Amino acid sequence: MSSDDIHTPVLLDRCVELLAPALERDGAVLVDATLGMGGHSEAFLRRFSGLQLIGLDRDTDALRIAGERLAPFGDRVTLVHTVYDGIAKAVASTGRDRVDAILFDLGVSSLQLDVADRGFAYAQDAPLDMRMDQSAGTTAADVLAAYSEGELRRIFERYGEEKLSARYARAIVHARADGPIDRSGRLVDILQAATPAALKSAGHPAKRVFQALRIEVNRELSVLERAIPAALDLLPVGGRIVVMSYQSLEDRLVKREFAQASASTAPPGLPVELPEHAPRFKLLVKGAEQASDDERARNPRATPVRLRAAERLREGA
């Protein structure tokens, strides 16, 4: 199966529209901080003939596929194996300290969802891995084996916003006494058995638990909390950033960081705002934009997306 068959970039035209003003000059640099299979990056490289791309991904399979896809663009493309909170170091490795535009397309990728043995999808029985970088780190099966009932409850509550977190944590601890929970099919069975009959029609019981495990395994929120400020610091005046989130925890974090960057730091009651107190960034969209009904129909994975964008107005202190 080709990358085109399994990957339809979300909000592609809108991303191009928002970042274009920062990329018009020859030699402009775009960082795709979540390269995936390169769908967004390919479109930017085709649209802007002088564009230089720095593509980041922690997933070695994604880097391989994107590398093949972007090979026709030759030395205009630099790919870096890193988590996106390593964005500043990755940019520095190319001899730069600033870039013109940055794109984040957060969450689990089409590749990770569609390859069953990665363990991300609760609809397919597979080993419970869930690592975006399969070369290192703790798997979801490791988490289920080692975490206490209280720790499991905490991550289900915090990262999955799961109302039955205590019930599910207790069921997992009880079930693992009979053997390791190392396949998604067994975990789904445990969660379904622990779900009250009255709630079984309220959505799949595994959805939020699988989300929570994925976030915990990949440290997604702590990584994002470091990555957004680092990305903002890389942009010059006129530089732009677009971030697409797919669940509320990510979007809240991005909203907070953008709000801080676009707020005046003038003390209350100051009659005139001094230049050093002026906002460093301006927001380019009102609130968070969503995909159109047409795009959702064509690409169901666009349904939960929330897009935010900003442009640097001035240098920091």
3-state secondary structure of 306: strand
Residue 50 belongs to a domain: yes
Taking the C-alpha atoms of residue 143 and residue 129, their distance in angstroms, rounded to an integer, is 10
Residue 31 belongs to a domain: yes
Q: Is the pLDDT of residue 3 over 50?
A: no
Full residue range of the structural domain in which residue 226 is found: 3-105+220-312
pLDDT at 63: 94
Of 170, 193, 218, which closes a domain? 218
- Mean pLDDT lowest for which of 140-144, 172-176, 205-209, 252-256? 205-209
Taking the C-alpha atoms of residue 33 and residue 277, their distance in angstroms, rounded to an integer, is 30
pLDDT at 187: 95
- Determine the Cα angle at 23 with ends 58 and 69, to 5°: 45
- Mean pLDDT lowest for which of 194-203, 209-218, 268-277? 268-277
CATH number at residue 183: 1.10.150.170
3-state secondary structure of 78: strand
97 is in an annotated binding site: no
pLDDT at 1: 41
pLDDT at 234: 98
Q: Which residues contact 277 (CB under 8 A, 6 or more apart)?
A: 264, 265, 266, 267, 270
pLDDT at 114: 53
User: With pLDDT > 90 as the criterion, what percentage of the chain qualifies?
Assistant: 78
C-alpha torsion 274→275→280→284, nearest 10: 90
- What confidence category does residue 287 fall into, taking pLDDT thresholds of 50, 70 and 90? very high
Q: pLDDT of 29-59, one tens digit each?
A: 999 999 999 999 999 999 999 999 999 999 9
Mean pLDDT (the chain) is 90
Residue 111 belongs to a domain: no
Of 218, 237, 264, which closes a domain? 218
- Mean pLDDT lowest for which of 144-158, 181-195, 196-210, 214-228? 196-210
On whether the CB atoms of residues 218 and 108 are closer than 8 A, the answer is no
112 is in an annotated binding site: yes
- 16 lies in the same domain as 83: yes
Q: What is the mean pLDDT of residues 137-153?
A: 96
Residue 112 belongs to a domain: no
- 209 lies in the same domain as 234: no
Of 218, 248, 269, which closes a domain? 218
pLDDT at 156: 97
Most confident of 3-17, 126-140, 156-170, 267-281: 156-170
Q: pLDDT of 65-120, one tens digit each?
A: 999 999 999 999 999 999 999 999 999 999 999 999 999 999 775 555 555 555 56
Taking the C-alpha atoms of residue 227 and residue 233, their distance in angstroms, rounded to an integer, is 10
Into how many domains does the chain fold?
A: 2
User: With pLDDT > 70 as the criterion, what percentage of the chain qualifies?
Assistant: 90
Strand (E) or helix (H) holding 261: helix 248-261
- 123 lies in the same domain as 181: yes
Q: Which residues contact 229 (CB under 8 A, 6 or more apart)?
A: 257
- Mean pLDDT lowest for which of 108-122, 200-214, 267-281, 288-302? 108-122
Q: pLDDT of 53-66, one tens digit each?
A: 999 999 998 999 99
Q: What is the mean pLDDT of residues 113-138?
A: 76
Residue 110 belongs to a domain: no
- 121 lies in the same domain as 209: yes
Q: Is the pLDDT of residue 269 over 80?
A: no
pLDDT at 203: 76
- What confidence category does residue 133 fall into, taking pLDDT thresholds of 50, 70 and 90? confident
pLDDT at 137: 83
- 38 lies in the same domain as 56: yes
32 is in an annotated binding site: no
Taking the C-alpha atoms of residue 252 and residue 258, their distance in angstroms, rounded to an integer, is 10
pLDDT at 169: 98
- 282 lies in the same domain as 272: yes
3-state secondary structure of 316: coil
CATH number at residue 100: 3.40.50.150
- 248 lies in the same domain as 304: yes
